[in-house]
Structure 1
Amino acid sequence: MKETMDYKNINAIIAKVLSHEATLDEIIIFGKWVNESPNHKRDIEVLSEFWDVASDAEALSTEISFDRNKDMIFGRKNDDNYKDKTGYGSRKRLVFLSIAASVLIILSLGIYTLINGLNPSQNFVLLTQDNIARYVLPDSSVVVLNKNSRLTYSDRFVANNRKVKLEGEAYFDIRKHNKKRFVVEVGNSEVEVWGTKFNVNACNATESITTTLIEGIVLFKGGGQERLMQPDQQLTYYPKQGFIKNAKVDACLSVEWKDHVSRYTSIPLSELILRIEEHYNVEIVLADKYKDMRVSGALSNNQSLHQTLNVIQSSVGFQWKKAKGKIIIY
Structure 2
Amino acid sequence: MEKELFDIDQLISNRFLGTITPDNDQLLDKWIGEKIENQRYFSEQKKLWELFTMHQKMQQIDEHKAFQKISAQLFTRKKRNILAYIQRIAAIMLIPVVIASSIYILSEKTERKQQATVYNTAETPLGMRSSLVLPDGTKVWLNAGSKLRYPVLFSEKYRAVELCGEAYFEVKKDKKWPFVVTSGNMNIVVSGTTFNCNAYDENNQIETVLVEGQVTVINESATISKELLPNELAIFSKNNQQIVKSKINPEKYIAWKSGKLMFRDDKMDLVVEKLERWYNVEFEIKDKEITNYIYTATFIDESLDQVLKMLSLSAPIRYSVSERSKLGDQTFEKQTVKLYKK
In structure 1, the residue matched to 2:114 is 118
Q: Which structure exhibits the higher relative contact order, with contacts defined as CA atoms closer than 8 Å and separated by 6 or more residues? A: 2
Q: Give secondary structure in 2 for the equivalent of 1:254.
A: helix
Q: How does 1:289-308 map to 2 (within 5 A)?
A: 294-300=294-300, 302-308=301-307
Residue 146 of structure 1 and its aligned partner are, at CA, apart by 1.4
In structure 1, the residue matched to 2:257 is 258
| Alpha-carbon spacing, 1:124–1:117, altered in 2? closer, same or farther (3 Å) | farther
The answer on whether the counterparts of 2:179 and 2:191 sit within 8 Å (CA) in structure 1 is yes
Q: How does 1:227-246 map to 2 (within 5 A)?
A: 227-246=226-245
Distance 1:289 1:238 in 2: 26
Distance 1:256 1:161 in 2: 30
Structure 2 counterpart of 1:234, one-letter code: L
Distance 1:259 1:177 in 2: 26
In structure 2, the residue matched to 1:199 is 196
Q: For 1:264-294, what per-residue CA distance to the aligned partner results, in whole angstroms no more than 9, with x for missing partners?
A: 2234556534543454432244667866554
| Alpha-carbon spacing, 1:211–1:315, altered in 2? closer, same or farther (3 Å) | same
Q: Give secondary structure in 1 for the equivalent of 2:141.
A: strand
Of the two, which has the highest radius of gyration?
1
In structure 2, the residue matched to 1:153 is 150
The answer on whether the counterparts of 1:174 and 1:196 sit within 8 Å (CA) in structure 2 is yes
Answer yes or no: is 1:173 the counterpart of 2:184.
Answer: no
Q: For 1:181-239, what per-residue CA distance to the aligned partner results, in whole angstroms no more than 9, with x for missing partners?
A: 11112223210111111111111278322211111111111132111111121111123
| Alpha-carbon spacing, 1:125–1:160, altered in 2? closer, same or farther (3 Å) | farther
Residue in structure 2 matching 1:139, options 122, 136, 139: 136
Percent sequence identity over aligned pairs? 23
| Alpha-carbon spacing, 1:182–1:193, altered in 2? closer, same or farther (3 Å) | same
Q: How does 1:272-291 map to 2 (within 5 A)?
A: 272-280=271-279, 281-285=281-285
Answer yes or no: is 1:210 the counterpart of 2:192.
Answer: no
Structure 2 counterpart of 1:228, one-letter code: E
TM-score (ref. length: structure 1): 0.58
Distance 1:314 1:188 in 2: 41
Structure 2 residue runs of 5 or longer lacking an equivalent are: 1-11, 18-104, 324-335
Distance 1:202 1:320 in 2: 29
The answer on whether the counterparts of 1:268 and 1:295 sit within 8 Å (CA) in structure 2 is yes
Distance 2:297 2:198 in 1: 23
In structure 1, the residue matched to 2:28 is none
Distance 1:291 1:165 in 2: 32
| Alpha-carbon spacing, 1:119–1:237, altered in 2? closer, same or farther (3 Å) | same
Equivalenced residue count is 225
Distance 2:164 2:305 in 1: 30
In structure 2, the residue matched to 1:3 is none
Residue 157 of structure 1 and its aligned partner are, at CA, apart by 0.8
Distance 1:166 1:135 in 2: 14
Task: State the Cα RMSD in Å.
Answer: 3.3
